[in-house]
Amino acid sequence: MTSVTLEMMKEYLNRFGWRNYKAAQEPLEKEGIIFTGWHSPGHEQCYILTIDPMVEMGCLSFRVPEILKVPAEDVPAERIADLCFVIGYLNYRLLIGKFAYDPSDGEIRFSVDVPIEENTFTYEQFVHCLGAAIHSVEKYAPALRRLAEGEQTPDEFIAWDKEHSARELKRSFAEFLRELLRHLDDDSDSFPGRRGTNRPRGGNGGELFD
């Protein structure tokens, strides 16, 4: 029997400080599902998030449904093709999680799907999956919306993503250097004659959640 349960997911959410959620039972499923969501700062956009330990299928799913609705009957075929092209590009680039388009109703969603069997699913893994889902949706949903509305081409989307990713890489590397210098400063206190050095100290990195 898998060790991943609905109670474990609730415990991890509470430990993280995420209090607003609802657990519900699902027909034919042992563990049920958690419904929650978040508000995207600066975008006036609310997203639904479900956490579903589907033990019968050996999968734990963090899913953000209905990021966009782009029904094929309401949108030019060329624009649907552009969306599918960009979704394929994103899924190629993303290490964790995937976007998907459902042609039957036009839903675009994002999910992180983790195999679960007899293994343990740690709190750290939970936070990693939760963070990956939120970060990917926050980063790409507004740009996908611009693409769906014809305000951006696939080439413009890809150029924007590469520029944005380069800035993120530079910011992460700068934070890494600040953290390294901070540790070097802490370590230097244990050596005579090296106290009180004037190495710069970095500030705190941005938090995922407000």
Q: Is the pLDDT of residue 56 over 70?
A: yes
Q: 1 lies in a domain?
A: no
Average pLDDT over residues 66-87: 95
Q: Total domain count for the chain?
A: 2
**pLDDT above 70 covers what percent of the chain?**
77
Same domain, 11 and 37: yes
Domain that holds residue 207: 153-210
Same domain, 202 and 141: no
Q: Give the distance between the most distant pair of CA atoms in the chain.
A: 74
Same domain, 129 and 160: no
Same domain, 99 and 198: no
Residue 32 Rama label (left phi>0; alpha psi -120 to 50; beta): left
Q: Which tens digits make up the pLDDT trace of 17-49?
A: 999 999 999 888 889 999 999 988 776 789 999
What does the pLDDT read at residue 184? Answer: 67
Whole-prediction pTM value? 0.77
Same domain, 169 and 123: no
Q: What angle do CA 101, 102, 103 make, to 5 degrees?
A: 110
Same domain, 10 and 103: yes
**Confidence grade of residue 168 (pLDDT, cut at 50, 70, 90):** low
Same domain, 72 and 15: yes
Alpha helices in 3-76 (DSSP H): 6-16
**Distances in Å between the alpha carbon of 188 and those of 174, 176, 197?**
21, 18, 8
